[in-house]
Amino acid sequence: MLLRKLETIFNKFNHKGIFDSYQELASGHINDTYLIITKKKPYFILQRINHEVFKDVRGLIENKVGVSRHLQKKLGHLSEGELKRRVLSFVDTNKGDSYYKDGDGNYWNMMYYIDNSQTFDIVTNKEVAYEGGKLSGEFLNLTSDFNPSSLIEIIPKFHDMSFRYSQFEDALKVASKERLIQAKESIDFVEDLRKEMHILQSLKESGDIKLRVTHNDTKISNALFDLNNKGLCVIDTDTVMPGIVHYDFGDAIRTICNTASEDEKDLSLVTFNLDYYEAYVKGFLETLGNSLTPIELKYLPLGAKSIIFIMGLRFLTDFLNGDVYYKIEYPEHNLVRSRNQFKLVKSFSEKHDDIQKVMSKYQ
């Protein structure tokens, strides 16, 4: 019985709570996450990490616990109650470990639940974009003195452009003639941008852009807000690992500034929302700007363009491979997704001058 199992696992952690009930939280797509309701607050979040998806679960948990404890030290001037609202606070097991491994080989970790909070799946106003930017910038700023080489690379080559192009080239070799014809316009687009899309990776590999601690999943739903829409903290830190600032900036912009969903077939509805971009940049640079080098600042817009592009490339590659990675609802679904992202890249490029004005305004 799940209730009894959760209560048993809950009691393996070092807390003073008395288990009462639980609610399953369905916000994630990979892990099993439960709100543990106790007889008396605080409540807790108990999570089973999917070890089929994440091969180094110990490294994953140690990454996020280590980063959270670093953030707690940096924000040590806050009261204990406020600190637990501004940083994910993990609970050790009774043996002092950061995770519990059950008899079935599953890994569990636990953190304090942050009540009177909310998340957003989409951005509907500039205030939320601005607050989201502040949260991402603050996270990067507070971890700027954390040694990224001490972190495990949870998903190797996640944003590696050469790796994604190599996957694309392999897919071209096995794709059916019909799919190659259907995707010709997108394939040509990928080839046209090949040189530009390798600029950031080259700067990273040369050391001109330094490695940092990055979140790597900065969609707006991974930002936690209070009930007045003010930012509290970033959440879902499973993919914290070494990266460059442009990854986090770009992924946030990709999800915040598309005027349509990534599944939208009508490409006339897909444009780049400059107002949300400006709001996000304002918040982002307010909390991070002084931590960035001139070359990092210069290439932030390319970070947005590159991450939007790489998502389109991954969708296109999966379409050519016969849809083996992403779940689809109809045969052309991945092709539609790739066209959607590439249209967003084009819209972004068309607004190049306005985007540069935004960057100059807030630097």
93: three-class secondary structure by DSSP: strand
Check residue 27 and give its pLDDT: 57
Structure-token pair, residue 361: 């305004």
Q: What is the pTM of this model?
A: 0.93
257: three-class secondary structure by DSSP: coil
Q: Which residues contact 229 (CB under 8 A, 6 or more apart)?
A: 127, 128, 131
| Distance, CA of 82 to CA of 218 (rounded, Å) | 23
Q: Where in the chain is the domain with CATH 3.30.200.20?
A: 2-115
Check residue 115 and give its pLDDT: 95
| Distance, CA of 69 to CA of 73 (rounded, Å) | 6
Q: What percent of the chain has pLDDT over 90?
A: 91
Mean pLDDT over 33-60 rounds to: 92
On the question of pLDDT at 289 being above 90, the answer is no
Check residue 52 and give its pLDDT: 79
CATH topology for the 2-115 domain: Phosphorylase Kinase; domain 1 (3.30.200)
On the question of pLDDT at 176 being above 80, the answer is yes
Helix (H) or strand (E) holding 86: helix 80-86
Q: What is the pLDDT of residues 30-40, one digit of tens each?
A: 789 999 999 99
On the question of pLDDT at 290 being above 90, the answer is no
Check residue 1 and give its pLDDT: 84
Q: Which of 48-57, 70-79, 313-322 has the lowest mean pLDDT?
A: 48-57
332 vs 327, higher pLDDT: 332
Cross-strand pairs, 231 = 225
Q: What is the pLDDT of residues 219-276, one digit of tens each?
A: 999 999 999 999 999 999 999 999 999 999 999 999 999 999 999 999 999 999 999 9
Whether 107 and 58 have beta carbons less than 8 Å apart is answered as yes
On the question of pLDDT at 363 being above 90, the answer is no
Check residue 55 and give its pLDDT: 86
Mean pLDDT over 140-166 rounds to: 95
Residue 322 — φ and ψ, nearest 5°?
90, 25
Whether 258 and 273 have beta carbons less than 8 Å apart is answered as yes
CATH class in words for 126-362: alpha beta
Check residue 277 and give its pLDDT: 98
Check residue 28 and give its pLDDT: 54
The runs of H, that is alpha helices, within 263-299 are 274-288, 294-298
On the question of pLDDT at 67 being above 70, the answer is yes
Check residue 50 and give its pLDDT: 86
Mean pLDDT over 130-141 rounds to: 97
Q: Where in the chain is the domain with CATH 3.90.1200.10?
A: 126-362
> Which phi-psi region, left, alpha or beta, contains residue 269 (left: φ > 0; alpha: ψ -120 to 50)?
alpha
